[in-house]
Amino acid sequence: MGDNINIISWNVRGLNCPNKRGDVKWVPCNFRCDIAILQETKMEGFNLSTAISLWGQRSVDWMVLPSVGRSGGIVIIWDDQTLKLIDSKVGTYAICGKFKSLNDDLVWGLIGGYGSNVDYRCLWAQC
C-alpha cells in the first residue's frame, strides 16, 4: 500500500465483559492500528458505545457479523479519518470490505473470517 496501514487480526474469545474490552483496547491504541479484525466476539449486538470502549475516542466506524448465541461473531473496526468503506458484504462466516485509504486514494479489500474447522470451503464461498 502507498501509505502504511496498520492492521491487526485477533481471536478475542469474547467481548461481553467490560474488563476484557479494556484489555483489547490497549492493543490498537498502543500499536496505532488503523483497522482491527476481531474474531469470536461472542456478541449479538454492537453499537457506538461498544465501539468507543474498544477503539477509544478517535473517529471510528465498523461492520459486524453478529454471533449466533455465544458462538462466533466478527467485528471489523477502523479509523474513519484514515479509511473509507466503499462496499461490503456480510456472510455467514465472513465479512468482506472494500476500503479506500484517504491519504493516497488506494482502493483495497479485506476479509475477516471465523468458522468451523470442519469445512473451510463454506468460509471462502462467502465473498
98 lies in a domain?
yes
CATH number of the structural domain spanning residue 56? 3.60.10.10
Closest CA to 87 of 106, 100, 102: 100
- Tell me the C-alpha to C-alpha distance, in Å, between residue 95 and each of 12, 74, 84: 16, 7, 16
Closest CA to 10 of 23, 24, 20, 22: 24
2 lies in a domain?
no
pLDDT at 118 (0 to 100) = 56
- Which amino acid is present at 92? T
* Contacting residues for 17 by C-beta, under 8 A, at least 6 apart: none
Domain of 97 in residue numbering reads as 7-124
1 lies in a domain?
no
15 lies in a domain?
yes
pLDDT at 93 (0 to 100) = 87
Average pLDDT, the chain: 85
38 lies in a domain?
yes
**DSSP string spanning 93-104?**
SEEEEEEEETTT
110 lies in a domain?
yes
81 lies in a domain?
yes
Domain count, the chain: 1
CA distance 127 to 28: 26
Q: What is the pLDDT of residues 74-127, one digit of tens each?
A: 999 999 999 999 999 999 889 999 999 999 999 999 999 887 665 556 655 555
Q: Which residue has the higher pLDDT, 95 or 31?
A: 95
Q: What is the pLDDT of residues 44-80, one digit of tens each?
A: 889 998 898 888 877 899 999 999 877 889 999 999 9
- 55 — phi, psi (to 5°)? -110, -20
Q: What is the pTM of this model?
A: 0.85
Spatial contact of 106 and 94, defined as CB atoms under 8 Å apart: no
